[in-house]
Chains A and B, each alone.
Chain A
Amino acid sequence: MDQFTLNLIVVGMTFALYIGIAIWARAGSTAEFYAAGRGVHPVMNGMATGADWMSAASFISMAGIIALSPAGGYQQSAFLMGWTGGYVLLALLLAPYLRKFGKFTVPEFIGDRFYSGTARLVAVVCLIVISVTYVIGQMRGVGVTFSRFLEVSTDNGLYIGAAIVFAYAVLGGMKGITYTQVAQYVVLIIAYTIPAIFISLQLTGSFLPQLGLIGSYAPQGGEVAMLEKLDQVVTELGFTAYTADTSNMFNMVLFTMSLMIGTAGLPHVIIRFFTVPKVSDARSSAGWALVFIALLYTVAPAVGSMARLNLTTTFWPNAVTGNALDGDAIALADIDSKPELAWINTWKATKLLEFSDLNGDGKIQYFNEPKAVTAANKALADASKALADSTEADKSALEAKVAEAKAAVDAALAEATLGGKSLAERGLVGNEVTKIDNDIMVLANPEIAKLPGWVIALVAAGGLAAALSTAAGLLLAISSAISHDLIKGSLNPQISEKGELLAARISMGVAIAVATWLGLNPPGFAAQVVALAFGLAAATIFPALMMGIFSTRINKEGAISGMLAGLAFTSVYIFLYLGWFFIPGTNVYENTAANYFFGISPLSIGTVGALVNFVVAYVVTGMTKAPPQEVVELVESIRIPKGAGAAQAH
């Protein structure tokens, strides 16, 4: 059976499973649609939260982001700590109290606690901006995974994905989504860990990738630690050491913090804790969610480091037992003829991996090209192009420029060194592996580890499960904000339960249509917008919820001005570097570390935005009158578990 048929069968089987679950778990009431009837067991809820949280980015991209980071893999630990540490904040500071509150949405809590429709509206706006930016990436992930493994176009893949999400999310609401996510979690975690276990066995002899990460490098007799070997190999080739320390500790702290409080402030994660039966379950459910998330997040750094080592030693075979540069680089003839290297051409065809034999020696040399060489080569290419394009009769001036640029390249090659010898001496003209996409570290792993075809098919199904489950959770958060907070909350409070359920289903349908359209026409700035989503969640929703629970004193004026200040401060700082509303060319400063205020990157600004929110809220509250007695009583009642609404059978 060929790989394509196998992929089709495995992915088809998982889709049939999701649809089957959706039909079994249809939602009949608003409580089931918004909160799965509050009857979900904490372990199940934890699993569903894990699938909800782990997106296409976590599954496909994160290991590669860590592995291929130019500043070294350690620098990217912020993602690992940030995206898990947020659950501690959720369990301790938000989840139990919001469950006790016992309503359906995040804006509803903010509206009730701050006794203000305006506060609720501000929260709805933040929620929609955060969730919509997220969902674009997920729809895109579905399309890309389909096109890579099932040979359909990205657009058609997106339509298929949207149809599947439509079927189970509109039909089942939170109830259908929750049980489908449980299945999706199982698929994605199996798909992620099987290749990881095998690559760990091959490189470190350790069955557990987590132990492999700190284990020793088996192919060299097990005398050197795997990470030490990795550091040695990459530094020999001119890259920054994998375990190198961060050059900006302050920014790393702020970035990690921003991801943590951003995680705790993401509405589609918070609403998951409305679905459990009891307050004590909300606490442990956050723990179970983290158990299932940690299964992937503790494996990811092992996958990243080992895949990087595997990839590098593939290009420099001598590095397996000695120094890379003591032997020859990989030969083109071997790539074309040896079956164990066939994956290189497979992934070259997808353009995730690109290489070319620049110096014509029949080998592919992969190393960190010095910046001076890159610049000189670019100047030469520009000069040659100007000469070729010229229509003037007298080309001597342009020819002289090309000659000058050639001399500059030669000088740069003579000066730049690799392993103690100049590039010119080694006969190199530049790095010949011109592109390694982050995603390849996970997607090509089964092939690099020579695993059977069904494992490759499983990785395809896992990537789809990760993207679909997150998309469904986000769409539910959006649709409940529209039907429950906008329609029932302010436009038509008299709406019947049946009417509200219909409105919820219609807004879900519209949300899917909009998300599909945005996925088909992605704004060119998808990556930057994610930074905005985390920054906003950190600077608006998290502080508002926390003050709402931990202070009886903060009033509506304080909360509203705090949220608006956090929103304005965070978006303006991001826009300064990435362009006003992300329009290219409108940025005030160039987006480089030298231009950042106090070295704080736009990615890390959410932490400062949250501080601004807290400070403004306290100052404004101090100047305006205290909240009414019934609000103080509301806060006091959510602080104690007793008297939470009973669980509903389902």
Chain B
Amino acid sequence: MADKSTSNAYWAANVRVILISLAIWFVCSFGLGIILRPALSGIHIGGADLGFWFAQNGSIYVFLVLIFAYAAKMNKLDKEYGVEE
């Protein structure tokens, strides 16, 4: 088992990545898809307004990229801190 200070540093780095990811998660769904939709109704993606597209399709794509990016970043952190399986 890794020593205590390494584990703590690893966990702090993990929490930082999680917080950044959750901010993106929130902005693309609740932000662009719901709260900011009226303000951004002038911007269009094809035949839909930006908010509608994010609410029905766009946010799902962002979720996908987000999970794989998190998995890749964590695999890197695992190695960096020597805590990989």
Contacts and interface: CB of A to CB of B under 8 A. Distances in A.
B30 A214 contact: no
B54 to A, nearest CB: 9
A373 interface: no
A235 to B, nearest CB: 16
B42 interface: no
Interface string B55-68: 11101110110111
Nearest to B45: A214
Nearest to B67: A287
Contact of A639 (B14, B38, B59): B14
A246 B34 contact: yes
Nearest to A214: B46
B30 A256 contact: yes
A276 to B, nearest CB: 12
Contact of B18 (A92, A216, A253): A92
Interface string A280-318: 100110110011001001100100000000000000000
A264 B20 CA distance: 19
B29 A280 contact: no
B63 A84 contact: yes
Given A77-B56, A301-B56, A226 B35 contact: no
A278 B71 CA distance: 12
A360 to B, nearest CB: 40
Q: Which of B34, B48, B56 has the most CB of A within 10 A?
A: B56
A29 interface: no
Interface string A450-485: 000000000000000000000000000000000000
A642 B47 contact: no
Given A92-B22, A253-B30, A253-B34, A215 B63 contact: no
A636 interface: yes
Contacts of A87: 63, 67
B14 to A, nearest CB: 7
A12 B67 CA distance: 37
A193 interface: no
Nearest to B73: A283
A252 B29 CA distance: 11
Contacts of A287: 64, 67-68, 71
A640 interface: yes
Interface in A253-271: 253, 256-257
Given A283-B70, A287-B71, A290-B67, A278 B85 contact: yes
Contact of B74 (A245, A283, A291): A283
Contacts of B71: 91, 280, 283-284, 287
Contacts of A257: 30
B48 to A, nearest CB: 5
Nearest to B74: A283
A279 interface: yes
B63 A85 contact: yes
Contacts of B75: 280
B46 to A, nearest CB: 3
**Which applies to chain A's interface (DSSP): helix, strand, loop or mixed?**
helix
Contact of A85 (B47, B56, B59): B59
Contacts of A275: none
B52 A641 contact: no
B60 A81 contact: yes
A36 to B, nearest CB: 19
B47 A215 contact: yes
Contacts of B30: 253, 256-257
A280 B47 contact: no
Contacts of A291: 64
A642 B35 CA distance: 41
Contacts of B11: 639-640
A106 interface: no
Contact of B70 (A91, A279, A643, A644): A91
B78 A280 contact: yes
Contacts of A642: 1-2, 82-85
Contacts of A278: 85
Contact of A301 (B18, B57, B74): B57
A74 B47 contact: no
Given A92-B21, A256-B29, A641-B85, A80 B60 contact: yes
A93 B15 CA distance: 10
Contact of A249 (B34, B52, B63, B64): B34
A60 interface: no
A210 interface: yes
Nearest to A93: B18
B10 A640 contact: yes
B45 to A, nearest CB: 6
Interface in A601-650: 636-637, 639-644
A280 B55 contact: no
Contacts of B38: 245
A173 B81 CA distance: 37
- 8 nearest A-B residue pairs (beta carbon): A225-B47, A214-B46, A77-B55, A287-B67, A283-B71, A301-B56, A640-B83, A284-B71
16 contacts: A91-B67, A213-B47, A214-B53, A215-B47, A216-B47, A225-B48, A280-B71, A284-B71, A286-B67, A287-B64, A297-B60, A298-B61, A636-B7, A640-B11, A641-B85, A642-B2
